[in-house]
Structure 1
């Protein structure tokens, strides 16, 4: 009897022909879960993200390494007909295809969803793009910054009275990658029941609109359009950063009982006893007054003192930490979210999968591959003979490092 797969997606083969960050993130998470992910890249240059530096770790950028663990790299020239045909041969034996090419270019190469799915009816075809496969802007290029601006996310981010700001990480790409991973796994599960493949259409804009869902819901219910406010305009009246005597903390008062405990910690009995502030609606109506009183009191003691007091009272409160401190945080270290991977240029530290499974922990932890390192093996697995592989390499249709 064959042994049970150790990882949930063992036996699933993914062809990742995407670049930059969203598509690679989706494929990486599938690899974390045990899938065999083959990253198809341009000869010699590879994924653009390999060059997004400094900083670099050996030959590749830190950004690239953070979105491409648990993959093999096959370098194929998709600008040629022979290269496209080679990719299609890979897809014949694959379960999932992840791509983020321009829809118009896909059609010209015969790699559009309709053509590929007609050839490979069991394939789960995942198209990631800036704006989706339909609509008037389907052919426009999309990046994280573009999606944050178009979705309204930037319009609510930034200092009070200041200009809109981008959330300072690849938020749109990462969330779109997570959304794609969820949808791909659902499609694979349904395929087990029906035998049919699927088309998964994920856009950066749609992903950011999902992030904006609570703000959009409030606006549709009659709230005025929000403006950048430094994080002080939550639906909760006390849910924001404050300055203490020596550092910045955040305070999150999530319900009316917590408000009473917060007032006790701050020694503000007049606020605790004010019937007009007993509910969140009342505190929102007098937000400026409440925030001013809380800020005044918090400024009188150091952060460590307040953190201890609020923790004892069961009021959520945390320091605003810089990355150096985050990496040394005892909770972060205990959860082993940041781990060491052994790459071709030596070990490096990186954030690993943001989940644990009871059976395998965080899953696989193989470093990102060197460009073209696995080309020959991948072509051999696709049925190419040694002579064919040599010819493809000689003609530049395929490339190996």
Structure 2
């Protein structure tokens, strides 16, 4: 049955996607994130890269650790790399052979190039009806701007995400991480996993259309829904929430914390713990609508109380009262946070001497108590291994290496014909 033909170097026997072969021709961060999550779940991910250059993210830095980009390492664990030149006839033919034996194909290439290579969605599915084809793009496969390139910054701007981010009264700001790419990767991994369920049952494939813009629009769903329901158009608000009151950062005597008073019961618990019983007894503030109307008054009262004691004091008091609260942590604190450490959320890359790290997938499976954590591949590290698995004999591989259609690491290239 499709999806169970080969295991490659997939993860432990209990991994739910063991036996799934993924050919990933994407670059940068969204596509590699998607395939990394699939690899974390046991899939055999074949990372297809350009000879001599590889994934664009290999050059994103500094920082570099022994020549390796920290960004690249963070999105490419548990994969095998093959370097193929699609511009050569033999390299393109090898690519088609890999896809023929794959269950999933991920790409983020310009549509015009895909058509020239015979790798556009319609062409690929016509040849391989079982294939799950995942197209990663900036704007999506349809619509008047489908041909436009896209990056995280562009998607955050166009989706409205930047319009609500930043200090109150200030200019719109980008959320300072690869938010669009990571969420797009998660979305793609979810859709691919769903398609795999049907593929394994029926043997049929699908085309999955995932874009940075659509992902950021999904992040904006509550804001868009509120605006269309009559809420005034939101603007940057300095970390407050336009709907929930009170839901924002506050200064204490030594540092900032956030307080999330998401319902009436939590509001009353907070007021009791903070010694603000007069607010809890005020009928004007009994529900969220009232607290919104009088937000400025409430914020002033809370700020005056919280700044009088340290963050440690308020965290202890409010945790004890069952109020959602947290310090605004710097990354130096995040990586040593007791909960983060206990959950093994930061994954050191094998052989990286602690300087190269990734972050564990944001899910835990009871059947996989330890995360799969194989080192990211060097460019072309597995070219020979992958070609042999795909049915190429050593004479064919040697010819591909000689004419530059493929690239392999020096040590594996020397093994051909030996």
**TM-score interval, smaller chain:** over 0.9
Q: Is the CA contact (8 Å cut-off) linking 1:68 and 1:369 kept in structure 2?
A: yes
Q: What residue is the counterpart of 1:205 in the other structure? A: 213
Matches within 5 A, 1:1-400: 5-343=13-351, 348-400=356-408
Q: SS at 2:361's partner residue? A: coil
TM-score (norm 1): 0.97
Q: SS at 1:117's partner residue? A: helix
Q: Is the CA contact (8 Å cut-off) linking 1:343 and 1:369 kept in structure 2?
A: no
Q: Deviations over 1:283-324 (max 9, x none)?
A: 001111111111111111111111111011111111000001
Q: SS at 1:342's partner residue? A: coil
Q: SS at 2:42's partner residue? A: coil
Offset at 1:346?
8.3
**2-structure distance, mates of 1:282, 1:32:** 47
Q: Is the CA contact (8 Å cut-off) linking 2:348 and 2:354 kept in structure 1?
A: no
Q: Deviations over 1:238-264 (max 9, x none)?
A: 100000010000000011111111111
| 1:330 to 1:346, Cα distance in 2 relative to 1, 3 A | closer
Q: Is the CA contact (8 Å cut-off) linking 1:344 and 1:370 kept in structure 2?
A: no
Q: Is the CA contact (8 Å cut-off) linking 2:65 and 2:355 kept in structure 1?
A: no
Q: What residue is the counterpart of 2:412 in the other structure? A: none
**1-structure distance, mates of 2:251, 2:343:** 29
Specify every segment of 5 or more residues in structure 2 that has no aligned partner in the other structure, as ranges: 1-6, 410-418
Offset at 1:363?
3.1
| 1:188 to 1:315, Cα distance in 2 relative to 1, 3 A | same
Q: SS at 1:146's partner residue? A: helix
Q: SS at 1:357's partner residue? A: coil
Q: Deviations over 1:323-369 (max 9, x none)?
A: 01111111111101112231488873321222211111253110110
Q: Is the CA contact (8 Å cut-off) linking 1:34 and 1:363 kept in structure 2?
A: no
**2-structure distance, mates of 1:113, 1:36:** 22
Offset at 1:370?
0.5
Q: SS at 2:377's partner residue? A: coil
**2-structure distance, mates of 1:235, 1:121:** 47
Q: Is the CA contact (8 Å cut-off) linking 1:7 and 1:363 kept in structure 2?
A: no
**2-structure distance, mates of 1:127, 1:348:** 29
Q: SS at 1:328's partner residue? A: coil
**2-structure distance, mates of 1:245, 1:398:** 61
**1-structure distance, mates of 2:51, 2:351:** 20
Q: Is the CA contact (8 Å cut-off) linking 2:65 and 2:356 kept in structure 1?
A: yes
Q: What residue is the counterpart of 2:415 in the other structure? A: none
Q: Deviations over 1:31-86 (max 9, x none)?
A: 00000000000001100100001101222200000000000000001223332221
**2-structure distance, mates of 1:18, 1:69:** 15
Offset at 1:110?
1.1
TM-score (norm 2): 0.93
**2-structure distance, mates of 1:149, 1:247:** 31
**2-structure distance, mates of 1:286, 1:295:** 14
Q: SS at 2:257's partner residue? A: strand
